[in-house]
Structure 1
Amino acid sequence: MTDAPLLVEKDGYVTWLTLNRPARLNALSDDLLDMLESSLYEIAKTDQRVIVLRGAGRAFCSGYDIAPDSSEVGYAAERSAIEDRDRLLSNVERFTQIWRQPQPVIAAIHGVCAAGGTQLASLCDITLVADDAMIMASPALPLGGGYISPLWEHLVGSKRAKLMSFDAGRRITGKKANEWGWAAESFPSEEFDGEVRRTAHSIARTPLDLLKLKKEAVNRAAETSGLLSYMRMGAETDALLHLTPDVAMYQSWIKESGVKAAIKRFNEVPTGAEGVDNA
């Protein structure tokens, strides 16, 4: 298999885009995001009818790559508030490209889908999940806020969005995500790949011009609620929170000992209650 961070495969009128950083659970790096952006741009100029976005290995996407050795780094990098906001807005624009893509985009979720991975999936047109997938709206460390949760509010309501945002590392199964309305359908893991392929090719029977106008009609309805506007506002909230002493402390933990050790340290902080464990 190629070492490219994104794999592109055409299958009739269906194009498969595979996030290909399995050793990092397909965490979003600059290179991966650049390739996703350029691939979507190229596909938009073709007569392909459906795009399926999936992950290689045992996960869909673990979120933005915040490991100390990542070129993306993001949370651990030294940036001004404006530079940080602009970086976050650039990611919003990348994902809005999926929203604007002429072809319907299906997110096929198996294994882990966390934080920025759920942001990516939430802007796809249809999200299909394996029953046993593990979905986390926020990272296991509270490194920001307001950037991803608005997309959850749009899909599952404010109370569930707050639950998933406030409780760092809170997780639900793919089956629960379907029940909540974050996903369109869920399937047993052994049936998942076949059901995704069946759905993609079934949709691809419809000509692209019809699919494009159908997509635009539903998107307009969603946009009347201000979806795209409050996504952009979330970048400002996140940039502000990145300057707080607490987030700076968590960033320093990541730099000192890596992501896993930082999460373990956070989970060991006394809360005044016994039995709290989201590891």
Structure 2
Amino acid sequence: MQEYSNIILERVGHIAWITLNRPERLNAMNGALLAEFSHALDVLAASNNRVVVIKGAGRSFSAGYDIAADSDEIGYTAERGPVEDRDHLLYNIDLWTKIWRHPQPVIAAVHGVCVAGATQLASMCDITIVTDDATIMASPALPLGGGYISPLWSHLVGPKRAKLMSFDAGRRISGKTAAAWGWATESVPAEEFENHVRETAQSIARTPASLLKVKKEAINRTIELQGLLTYARMGAETDALLHLTPEVVQIQNLIKTHGLKEAIRLFNAGALEFDEAIQ
């Protein structure tokens, strides 16, 4: 199998396992990881594989897009123009759409934390299995954009819950709640998690690949007719717009100057003052 630096790709029988492999950053997704992830999906799409499972190394599934001070995701307002920023965001949406349109069923196996951009990934998977004690956050702990992630929540949990998770930066729900809301397919105790995911993948893999492909297309088509892929891409435009606001620039600069943890602490303490223009 292909060797990667930021992910691990393994195949056992008809099942492929993609492991997000930056455990020292809680598998936060930077440009290098996303590029390798995209390549792995292409490799598997051209194979005789039947099921893909995506999981995270170490303590968590993924902390979302890497927004640490040294990340290539921070500094976009200064270093990218609005069109370039929009296109950068659309690249991520197109990557998650690869999961949606992948010829093989894709399972997200979520433990630990699953934050912001990582919930986009999981939302586009065909099945999402979570641990009861997982921590799911639709938005990052700081208000750095908007309209980019929450649309992919809306079709799963409804607009009111999607708004709650979007408006309240860093709002958390457990794996049990995520399953009850419909964001996750099912929630299982942590001690049963690995075996349950494996058994589910193995059970699905009994069905021939051609049948699985058509079954997936038939169900996806009903959701696409409701506009899923259109409003997913529209979110890149609103996010790029908000990246240009003075408030978001202020938070970005705070992260770069004081680090992510301190920026989150100050925001949670209500210590940040924003000079908001009268609308």
SS of the counterpart of 2:143? Answer: coil
Q: Which residue of 2 aligns with 1:133?
A: 134
Give, in whole Å, the separation in 2 of the partners of 1:225 and 1:211: 22
Does 2:145 correspond to 1:144?
yes
SS of the counterpart of 2:92? Answer: helix
In the superposition, the TM-score normalised over structure 1's length comes to: 0.94
Q: Which residue of 2 aligns with 1:91?
A: 92
Paired letter, 1:134: T
Distance verdict in 2 for CA 1:111–1:76, change over 3 Å? farther
Q: Which residue of 1 aligns with 2:275?
A: none
Q: How does 1:266-277 map to 2 (within 5 A)?
A: 266-269=267-270
Tell me the CA shift for residue 79 of structure 1.
1.1
SS of the counterpart of 1:113? Answer: strand
Q: Which residue of 1 aligns with 2:276?
A: none
List per-residue Cα deviations over 1:51-99 (Å, max 9, x = no partner): 0000000010101011121234365652111110010001111110011
Mapped contact 1:66–1:74 kept (Cα < 8 A): no
Q: How does 1:1-279 map to 2 (within 5 A)?
A: 4-73=5-74, 75=76, 78-269=79-270
Mapped contact 1:109–1:127 kept (Cα < 8 A): yes
Runs of 4+ with >2 A deviation: 71-77
List per-residue Cα deviations over 1:14-63 (Å, max 9, x = no partner): 00000000010000111110011011101111110000000000010101
Distance verdict in 2 for CA 1:41–1:258, change over 3 Å? same
Give, in whole Å, the separation in 2 of the partners of 1:252 and 1:22: 26
SS of the counterpart of 2:133? Answer: coil
Instruction: Give the number of aligned pairs.
Output: 270
Distance verdict in 2 for CA 1:186–1:77, change over 3 Å? farther
Name stretches of at least 5 consecutive residues in structure 2 with no aligned partner. Answer: 273-279
SS of the counterpart of 2:79? Answer: coil
SS of the counterpart of 1:59? Answer: coil
List per-residue Cα deviations over 1:185-223 (Å, max 9, x = no partner): 110000000000000000000000000000000110000
Name stretches of at least 5 consecutive residues in structure 1 with no aligned partner. Answer: 272-279
Paired letter, 2:90: L
In the superposition, the TM-score normalised over structure 2's length comes to: 0.94
